[in-house]
């Protein structure tokens, strides 16, 4: 098949073949590899078949021994057809491989065991750039699940969790402290969430672990306070000197006005110094504020950076610290998304632009949308519009 190998093109070619061979109403299943374009092709093909009045179902999935998430997909889809398998065993005497009730129950337990790992993997490995305030909670969830299943009554899950716990301890036994700061800077969690998590894991060591993290958090905060205090002093001095040099010479009544202005300036400086050293610091005020309500349904959609942007006047220094810490990426991008050039092939439209424009389009698209699983290279009209917009911006810039 000639390029492009996009989902739309693959679906059109496959459907044409099915129609040409006269088997479009006789296909039971289609087996594909894990290319991202195939996922999109399936969606278009299902839509096309439904338009033809054909019944299309998700069907069953097979296990891939080297990929644990395929085991979860296989069990999840098979459990939905449990009664169908049992009925098929009664209806067809030649069907002798129906799982027993014990095997079905074990499959259900394994599926429940793997489901949170699948959800967490989707979050950490996603392309939506989740902020670092989610890191601590997700790693803690993994550890809790593994600890809970160390003594599972199911031998398979027990052995599985022990092997996973060994791997977990190798990389995550000591949580990243700088990313634990992200949880503290989440106005819904703060210090109490760390105390809760450490206590749930091991009450005997929770206080020591919490103290270690909080001490380092306070040291970092003091460094920010010291640095930006010096910055503000230097800026205020330079602005005062420039304003003094720019004033005209004082004559007559202007001398009295300038003296009054200088007195007011001295008062403002004194007031700012007094307000900058109140009885309570920004950090103390932040911890005293009642935590925001934590809603489990949309906890991952909370815009924590927007919160600090809206509260930067109340917490000027702490908001800067929060911006720096929460901007630390916690996601991993699939190698196929990182190194695939499927969305960066030079078409006849792209090759007519300057290299600077191409780089600008690629970077801007990534900043706006992240790494997407599917990029429609057939949408040439959008590419032309992007190129024209980029060229116009460059000419006016």
Q: Has residue 172 got a pLDDT over 80?
A: yes
256 inside domain: no
Residue 132 CB neighbours (<10 A): 23
303 inside domain: no
Query: Is 154 or 359 the better-scoring residue by pLDDT?
Result: 154
Q: Which DSSP letter does residue 100 get?
A: P
What average pLDDT score do residues 376-382 get?
Answer: 46
326 inside domain: no
Q: Which two tokens stand for residue 9?
A: 């093109």
How many domains are contained in the chain? Answer: 2
Using pLDDT thresholds of 50, 70 and 90, give the confidence band for residue 335: very low
Burial 103-121 (b: 16+ CB within 10 A, else e): ebebbebbbebbeebeebb
Q: Which two tokens stand for residue 32?
A: 């594909």
Rounded distance, CA 120 to CA 68, Å?
14
- Residues spanned by the domain of 359: 340-396
25 inside domain: yes
Q: What is the pTM of this model?
A: 0.60
Q: Are 187 and 193 in contact (CB under 8 A)?
A: no
Q: Which two tokens stand for residue 372?
A: 């997407």
360 inside domain: yes
What average pLDDT score do residues 108-114 get?
Answer: 94
Would you list the DSSP string of 40-108? Answer: HHHHHHHHHHHHTT----------BTTBHHHHHHHHHHHHTTHHHHHHHHHH-TT---PPPHHHHHHHH
Last residue of a domain, one of 41, 57, 73: 57
Q: Are 250 and 258 in contact (CB under 8 A)?
A: yes
244 inside domain: no
30 inside domain: yes
Mean pLDDT over the full length of the chain: 77
Q: Has residue 57 got a pLDDT over 70?
A: no
Rounded distance, CA 99 to CA 82, Å?
9
Q: Has residue 297 got a pLDDT over 90?
A: no
323 inside domain: no
Query: Is 59 or 248 the better-scoring residue by pLDDT?
Result: 59
Q: Which two tokens stand for residue 173?
A: 């036994």
pLDDT number for residue 70: 82
Element spanning 73, H or E: helix 68-79
pLDDT number for residue 243: 43
299 to each of 230, 303, 323, 343, how far by Cα in Å?
A: 37, 9, 19, 32
Residue 115: which residues within 8 A CB-CB, separation 6 or more?
72, 76
Identify which of 55-64, 215-224, 285-294 has the greatest average pLDDT.
Answer: 215-224
pLDDT number for residue 255: 53
Last residue of a domain, one of 23, 39, 57: 57
Rounded distance, CA 112 to CA 158, Å?
14
Instruction: Look at residues 394, 350, 330 and name the one whose alpha carbon lies nearest to residue 172.
Output: 330
Q: Which DSSP letter does residue 67 get?
A: B
Helices 177-184 and 316-326 cross at an angle (nearest 10°) of 130
């Amino acid at each position: 098949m000639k390029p492009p190998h996009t989902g739309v093109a693959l679906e059109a070619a496959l459907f044409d073949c099915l129609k040409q061979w006269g088997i479009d109403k006789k296909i039971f299943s289609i087996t594909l590899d894990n290319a991202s374009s195939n996922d999109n092709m399936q969606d278009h093909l299902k839509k096309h078949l439904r338009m033809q009045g054909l019944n299309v179902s998700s069907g069953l999935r097979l296990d891939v021994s080297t990929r644990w998430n395929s085991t979860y997909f296989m069990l999840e889809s098979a459990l939905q057809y449990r009664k169908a398998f049992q009925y098929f065993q009664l209806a067809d005497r030649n069907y002798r491989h129906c799982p027993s009730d014990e095997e079905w129950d074990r499959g259900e337990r394994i599926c429940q065991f793997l489901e949170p790992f699948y959800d967490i993997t989707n979050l950490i490995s996603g392309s939506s750039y989740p902020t670092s305030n989610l890191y601590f909670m997700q790693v803690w969830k993994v550890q809790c699940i593994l600890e809970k299943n160390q003594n599972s009554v199911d031998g398979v899950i027990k052995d599985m969790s022990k092997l996973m716990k060994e791997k977990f301890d190798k990389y995550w036994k000591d949580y990243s402290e700088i990313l634990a700061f992200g949880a503290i800077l989440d106005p819904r969690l703060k210090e109490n969430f760390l105390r809760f998590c450490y206590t749930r894991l091991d009450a005997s060591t929770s206080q020591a672990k919490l103290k270690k993290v909080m001490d380092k958090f306070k040291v970092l905060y003091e460094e920010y306070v010291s640095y930006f205090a010096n910055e503000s002093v230097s800026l205020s001095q330079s602005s005062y000197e420039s304003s003094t040099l720019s004033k005209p010479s004082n004559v007559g009544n202007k001398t009295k006005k300038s003296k009054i202005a200088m007195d007011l300036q001295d008062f403002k400086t004194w007031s700012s110094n007094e307000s900058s050293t109140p009885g309570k610091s920004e950090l103390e005020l932040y911890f005293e504020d009642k935590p925001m309500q934590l809603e489990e349904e949309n906890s991952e959609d909370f815009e924590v950076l927007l919160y600090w942007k809206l509260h930067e006047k109340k917490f000027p220094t702490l908001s800067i610290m929060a911006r720096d810490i929460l901007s630390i990426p916690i996601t991993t991008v699939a190698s196929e998304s990182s190194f695939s050039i499927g969305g960066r092939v030079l078409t006849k439209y792209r090759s007519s632009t300057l290299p600077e424009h191409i780089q600008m389009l690629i970077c801007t698209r990534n900043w706006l949308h992240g790494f997407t699983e599917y990029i429609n290279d057939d949408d040439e009209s959008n590419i032309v519009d992007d190129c024209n917009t980029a060229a116009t911006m460059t000419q006016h810039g």
